[in-house]
Every structure is written in C-alpha cells, then in structure tokens.
C-alpha cells in the first residue's frame, strides 16, 4: 500500500474503506504509525487528552506550536488568540474578504480560464491571515514559500532523505522567519497596531511575557494553518461540484443550502486528512493495545466516511442532515480558525460559481495533490469557464 503516492492522495477513500473493513485500527509497521480510521475511535483520540497527547515533538523546533501542546499550557496559549477569532471579530472581516475575493476574480473573469489555486484559492485566505497577523501583504510570495516549507514537515513521517531535507529546509526558513518577526515586533513596540503580533507582544502567561520562540511559534502556525484549510476547502469544493453537477445546480437554485454544502465538502473531501497524537500510556482500542509513546494518526478523512455514522458515506449530498463530521477536529483542540474558514468559503463559493459560469476542468490530466502528506486538495487546478 502506497499511502503517499499522488494517486492515493487524490483519492484515498477506497483504501480507507478497505482498511476499516479489516480493522478500524491499523498499524503501519515500516513507520510504526497507528492509524485510527473510524469515527468513534478518531473522536476519542481527539478528545481524550489523558490517553492521547498532542505534544508529539518535545524538544523540536515546533514544540511551541499551539497544536503540539497539552493542558494546562494549551489552554493558556489558546486563550491568547481566541479573541482574534471570536464570532464578532471574524464577522468584522467579511467586508475585507469580499473586497479581496472580488479583486482576485476581476483579474481573471474576462479571460475564460484560471488556475484556481494560484489565482484565487491560495491568495485569498493567505492575504486575510497575513493582515490579521500584521505581516505586509506585499510579502505574499515570501509568506507562501515559508508556508510550503512548513507543510513539508509532514514528510518526516516517511523517514530517509525526504525527512532530512524537510527538516533542513524548515530550519533554514525558521531562521529567516525569526529575523522577520523580530523586525515586525520592533515596529509594534514603536507603534502598536490592531493586529495579532501587537497583541502577542503585550500578552502574558502566568505573569510572564511570551518569549520570542513562543511568538514565532504562533506566527508560524497561524500563517500555515490560517490559510491551508481554506485553500484546500475551496479546491475540493470546486472539484466536488464539477464531479456532481446536480448538486451544483441545486445550490445555485437554493442558496439557503450554502452552509450545509460547505459542511458536506468538509466531510466528503476533508481538507485535513490526519492529525497527530502520541499515546501518553498504553491505550486499549478496538481490541488491541497501542503501547505508550507511539505516534497515532486519527484519520479525519476516513472517519468522515464511516458508514457506521454516515448513510451512503461516498455520496456527495449538500442536503445531508445531520452531518457530525470531524473535519475541524473535536474537543479542546477544535480548530480555532473554523469560523474564519467557513466565512471565507461562504463568500468564495458563490463568487466562483456565479462570476465564473460553467466552471469546468481545462483538461483530463490528473491534478497534482498538495505536497503535504496530511492534507487533501489540489496543488494546481486549471479551469475554464464562460467569460
């Protein structure tokens, strides 16, 4: 089984189904990874912090990332940035997101074709999160390069040369980003602004200011996580509606289905296929025992197609209700950026489908998947439409 081949990452679901039928807990011996493929098991691994920890890389360069921390430190770190992602704060971003969406599509609407990821699905959320952080949007190319390198850390799962190259590239990028963040922080000390960097610089945990390493960890995580899910959500949504024109027509005629349509895309083609946990003790699951200290991957993409929870799980149905998917996680680590990603999708999908009529693939060649092993979506997607 080639978990990491392009064909598998374009369509991992037949393999998920095959493995789940054999056992919802699968041990990948060459990499000593434990995959949890069912909804109930993945939900437990996400929420049972006593058994499954998130500090999967202690002592590494990513140990300061919020997603790799456990309680009580996780709760304190999370509280620092929750204020930027409250319902009111996210709603206030709507006019700016609409402005950016309109401007990006203005560039392509007359020519009858676009490359969805480079022209729209990546720059829209990346510009939004860059502005929230306080990074100049003129630095877009640099920010994208840094984000791609950080996503490449998932290659460390495979070991060998690819893992070493990913670690080396990340170390080099971290040096660049540290110097970049130091400059931005110096500017904020001189002239505070209404952005996340200003807030992080002034924040305290247990009476102590955040260290540069902790602020850099926030900056790195928010940069990559703040746009990657939405980028893949938009690419996957377009693919789903192209593959299911009946659902596209239904959405165009019943705009009230937009919110459930987004939830169905999140379930049907989950932007994040797996998250990382480590067993804090020996854990009994599905009649087997995972030893302590083992890497565990709750496979969100597989859990969201579990027939024990979802009727006809392979069917794309924008009227599906209920839809208890785990695309944004579950429990204390539920994705902080979920409201922002949903808002961006609620703005972007109508813009794409209405301003680019008869949206379709430009050719029959298989699309290349995103380079990170734990995410799902197109790296490039050439489309045509009626100008």
Do 263 and 345 form a contact (C-beta atoms < 8 A)?
no
**Confidence grade of residue 73 (pLDDT, cut at 50, 70, 90):** confident
320: which residues sit within 8 A by CB, 6+ positions away? 260, 263, 264, 267, 310
**Confidence grade of residue 59 (pLDDT, cut at 50, 70, 90):** low
Break the chain into its structural domains and give their ranges.
Answer: 6-384
Do 267 and 378 form a contact (C-beta atoms < 8 A)?
no
The residue-averaged pLDDT of 160-189 equals: 91
Strand-pair category, 277-279 with 52-53: antiparallel
Is residue 142 scored above 80 in pLDDT? yes
Q: What topology is assigned to 6-384 in CATH? A: Cytochrome p450 (1.10.630)
Q: What is the pLDDT of residues 4-32, one digit of tens each?
A: 788 999 999 999 999 999 999 999 988 89
Give the span between the Cα atoms of 382 and 387, in whole angstroms. Answer: 15
Is residue 158 scored above 80 in pLDDT? no
User: 290 φ, ψ to 5°?
Assistant: -90, 120
Looking at residue 204, what is its pLDDT?
82
- Per-residue DSSP letter, 291: P
Query: Residue 33: beta bridge partners?
Result: 28, 295
Phi-psi region of 242 (alpha: psi -120 to 50; beta: other; left: phi over 0): alpha
The count of other CB atoms within 10 Å of the CB of residue 54 is: 22
Dihedral angle, C-alpha 15, 20, 25, 31, nearest 10 °:
-10
Looking at residue 58, what is its pLDDT?
73
Paired tokens of 182: 């130091």
Give the span between the Cα atoms of 10 and 268, in whole angstroms. Answer: 13
Give the span between the Cα atoms of 144 and 153, in whole angstroms. Answer: 15
Q: What is the pLDDT of residues 352-384, one digit of tens each?
A: 999 999 999 999 999 999 978 789 999 999 999
Is residue 242 scored above 90 in pLDDT? yes
The residue-averaged pLDDT of 143-164 equals: 82
The count of other CB atoms within 10 Å of the CB of residue 245 is: 11
What burial class does residue 355 get, using C-beta atoms within 10 Å of its C-beta: 0-12 exposed, 13-18 middle, 19+ buried?
middle
Give the span between the Cα atoms of 268 and 206, in whole angstroms. Answer: 42
Average pLDDT, the chain: 94
What burial class does residue 262 get, using C-beta atoms within 10 Å of its C-beta: 0-12 exposed, 13-18 middle, 19+ buried?
buried
**Confidence grade of residue 153 (pLDDT, cut at 50, 70, 90):** confident
Is residue 146 scored above 90 in pLDDT? yes
Q: What is the pLDDT of residues 99-138, one digit of tens each?
A: 999 999 999 999 999 999 999 999 999 999 999 999 998 8
Looking at residue 57, what is its pLDDT?
74
């Amino acid at each position: 089984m080639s978990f990491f081949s392009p064909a598998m990452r374009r369509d991992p679901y037949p393999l998920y189904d095959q493995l789940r039928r054999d056992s919802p807990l699968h041990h990948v011996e060459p990499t000593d990874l434990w995959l949890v493929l069912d909804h109930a098991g993945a939900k437990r691994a996400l929420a049972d912090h006593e058994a499954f920890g998130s500090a999967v890389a202690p002592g590494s360069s990513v140990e300061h990332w919020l997603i790799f921390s456990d309680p009580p430190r996780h709760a304190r770190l999370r509280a620092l940035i929750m204020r930027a992602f409250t319902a009111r704060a996210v709603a206030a971003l709507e006019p700016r997101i609409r402005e950016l969406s309109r401007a990006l599509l203005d560039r392509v609407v007359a020519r009858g074709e676009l490359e969805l990821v480079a022209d729209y699905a990546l720059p829209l959320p990346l510009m939004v999160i860059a502005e929230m952080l306080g990074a100049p949007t003129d630095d877009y190319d640099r920010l994208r390069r840094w984000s791609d390198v950080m996503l490449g850390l998932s290659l460390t799962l495979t070991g060998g040369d690819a893992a070493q190259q990913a670690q080396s590239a990340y170390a080099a990028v971290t040096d660049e980003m540290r110097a970049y963040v130091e400059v931005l922080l110096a500017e904020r000390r001189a002239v505070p602004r209404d952005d996340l960097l200003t807030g992080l610089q002034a924040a305290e945990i247990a009476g102590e200011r955040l260290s540069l390493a902790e602020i850099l960890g926030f900056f790195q995580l928010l940069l990559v996580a703040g746009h990657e899910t939405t980028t893949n959500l938009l690419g996957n949504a377009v693919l789903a509606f192209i593959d299911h024109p009946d659902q596209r027509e239904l959405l165009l005629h019943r705009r009230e289905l937009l919110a459930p349509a987004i939830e169905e895309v999140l379930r049907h083609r989950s932007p994040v296929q797996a998250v990382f946990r480590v067993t804090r003790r020996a854990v009994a699951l599905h009649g087997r025992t995972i030893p302590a200290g083992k890497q565990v991957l709750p496979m969100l993409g597989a859990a969201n197609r579990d027939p024990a929870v979802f009727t006809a799980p392979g069917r794309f149905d924008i009227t599906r209700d209920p839809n208890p998917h785990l695309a944004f996680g579950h429990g204390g680590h539920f994705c902080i950026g979920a409201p922002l990603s949903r808002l961006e999708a609620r703005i972007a999908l109508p813009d794409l489908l209405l301003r680019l009529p008869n949206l379709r693939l430009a050719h029959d060649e298989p699309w290349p998947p995103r380079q990170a092993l734990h995410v799902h979506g197109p790296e490039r997607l050439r489309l045509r439409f009626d100008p």
